[in-house]
Amino acid sequence: MNDQPTEPADELGKWEIQVRKGGLGLAVLAILWPDRLYGLEILRRLDSQAGMSIPEGTIYPLLSRMKAEGLVDSEWVEAEAGHPRKYYRLTDPGRLRVREMARSWRTFAAGLERLLAPLEIGETK
* DSSP β-ladder status, 85-90 and 37-38: antiparallel
- With CA atoms as reference, report the closest residue to 17 among 61, 41, 53: 53
Predicted structure pTM score: 0.82
In the predicted structure, residue 68 carries a pLDDT above the cut 80: yes
Average pLDDT, the chain: 89
pLDDT band per the 50, 70, 90 thresholds, residue 2: low
Which residue type occupies 74?
Answer: S
Domains in the chain (CATH in brackets) are 20-112 (1.10.10.10)
What's residue 19's pLDDT?
85
Question: What band does 80 get if pLDDT is binned at 50, 70 and 90?
Answer: confident
**Start-to-end Cα distance in the chain:** 33
Residues 6+ apart with CB under 8 A from 42: 28, 31, 32, 59, 63, 88
Q: Where is pLDDT greater, at 13 or 38?
A: 38
